[in-house]
Each structure stands twice: as C-alpha cells, then as structure tokens.
Structure 1
Amino acid sequence: MIVRPRQSRAFSGEIRSNRPVEEVFPLFCPVREREWVPGWDPLLVWTNSGAIEPDCVFTTQDPAGHAVWYVVQASADQGVLELLKTVADHMATRILIRVFPAPEGSLIQLNYRYTSLSPRGASALENLTESYWAQFMQRWQKAMERYFSQQRRTA
C-alpha cells in the first residue's frame, strides 16, 4: 500500500439570483445544465427519475480526460446537492451546492475541494488560484443570468 499526503485546494463562493429556489435548484442537474451552461454535454446519465437524484451517475469529457460524476446527495426540499467528480489519474473533486431563499430571490453557495490523484493532478492544482475561482464564479453568474433573461423573453 502507498500512502501519500493529500494535495488539495478548496474554494467557496456565493451567487445571487433574482429567481426563487424552486426555479434555481432544478437547474443543477446533468440534463438541465445543458439549458444554461455553455458547452455542457454529458455523455451518459444513469438516473431512475430522469433528473438529479441521489446515486445518479453521469459522465463528461473533461479537458483532463473522461470524468465520472456521482451524486452523493440531492434534496430539492433542503436545497442541497453534493457530487463527487473523478478524472482517473488526475483529480477528484467534491462539490457541495446549497441554494437558500434570499430577499428578492436565492443565494447559491458553491463549495469545491479539488484533490490531486497524480503528479499531473498536482501540477493542475497549481493553476487553481483565487483568480481562477473568481472567473469560474463569474461564468456561473453570467450563465445563470443569461438563462433567466432568455426565459423572461420567451414567456
């Protein structure tokens, strides 16, 4: 057995939406994210309901390789989604998303922990900076705003 010190980076942030939790939370689904995340295209989705649910598994093509995503918990009632994304011989990522009611809409809390699984993953960790995270959060915010703006125009 080989035991190594964990190399990881964690980031947290918040996004505000002027839409209620009931409209925001369902968008965090491998199928529904295609509606609002540019370039999002899951390859396979294993789900009994057709939507995000505990034990749902899906795959994507990541720049670092084939990614497998596992839904640890998903509760629309509690506004909690926890996922584990793994790219073999590269990186494991734990993602915790919470969506809360907030004045005039919702507050979305994003928590990501990236853990290296190889020297290649350790090298990739170096690129995960505060600047990277700020840009990541801005892309999420803009994508969500664009989606809801388009929804209002077509309603």
Structure 2
Amino acid sequence: MPSKQPTTERSRRHFEREQRIRAAPAAVFPLLCPVREYDWIPEWECRLVYTKSGIAESGCIFQTDREADDGIDTWVISRHEPNRAIAFVRVNKLRVMLYEIELEPLGEDASRLTWRQTVTALDERGDRHVDALREEDFAQTVAKLEALLNDYLG
C-alpha cells in the first residue's frame, strides 16, 4: 500500500555569517529589537502588531513592508534569551524565513554575532524566489548591519 504522507519539494536555502561587534552582548542585544532598530538602521520601518512590554520579547509580532521582499512580512519573535540569542520567524506570501542571531562574548568589550537564515518556499513562485537568493547578498547585508552596529555603539 503506497504511503499517503505528503512529500516536500519546496526550495530551501540556508545562509550563515559572523559579525565582530566592538561591544559586549549586554550592549548589543537590546538593539536587536523592532523598536530599537530605529536608533541604528537608517531605513528601518515596521508596524508593531503585538508586544506586552513595548520592545522585543518572546511572542512579539511586527510587520515590515518592502518592495524588495514582495510586500508585507509578518515577523514573530520565537526565541528571546537576553544577551545570548534571538530568533524570528518571518513570513510572506512567497516564503517562510527563520532568522537566528546568537551572541557570544569576546573579552569584556566585544561580541561575535552569528547570523543564520533558513528560507523555505511556500509555492512554485516562492521556489523561484528562494532559488534566486544569493550568498553574496546575505553576506553584504550582514556586513552592512555590522558596520551600522559598530558605528552606533561607537
């Protein structure tokens, strides 16, 4: 008897990059927040949907609307470990993205941030979108955020 379990054939890509930030995790972590990103990312815009505290927390939901991302993305903070890690599930009509950032102290005044992104298509159009994603673009984005964080933290 043939199995009736569904098969998965959607495209998936995984990217990973590290940053060196000239500040301790305790100074960096609060900035990884949809509200605090206004302080250090010039083009940042979002709409808060739900937060009890007014800042990043487990279960916080916000949305971004960027043409490059094919419209509205809904973000949910799925992991929130102060000064250690934060993760977001980010969804739009093309794909689901798991965005993870882990922080590690490097001495007293520096941190290593490991950025991981796993992107999975939701349909055939999403497959084309995910297949077109490039490692170089992710690396460039992480490098830009590294420069912005280091500039802000001075």
Whether TM-score is above 0.5 comes out as yes
Stretches of structure 2 that go unaligned for 5 or more consecutive residues are: none
Residue 105 (str. 1) matches residue 110 (str. 2): yes
Aligned to 1:16: 20
1:95 to 96, 99, 102: 99
Equivalent pairs, count: 147
1:59 to 60, 63, 66: 63
Aligned to 2:81: 75
SS in 1 for 2:132: coil
Higher RCO (CA-CA < 8 Å; seq separation 6+): 2
- Runs of 4 or more off by more than 3 Å in structure 1? 1-4
Stretches of structure 1 that go unaligned for 5 or more consecutive residues are: 150-155
Is residue 57–residue 69 contact of structure 1 (8 Å, CA) maintained in 2? Answer: yes
Q: Distance in 1 between matches of 2:88 and 2:139?
A: 21
Is residue 23–residue 111 contact of structure 2 (8 Å, CA) maintained in 1? Answer: yes
Q: Distance in 2 between matches of 1:71 and 1:111?
A: 14
Aligned to 2:127: 122
RMSD: 1.7
Q: Distance in 2 between matches of 1:38 and 1:114?
A: 25
Per the TM alignment, residue 2 of structure 1 is displaced from its structure 2 partner at its CA by 6.9
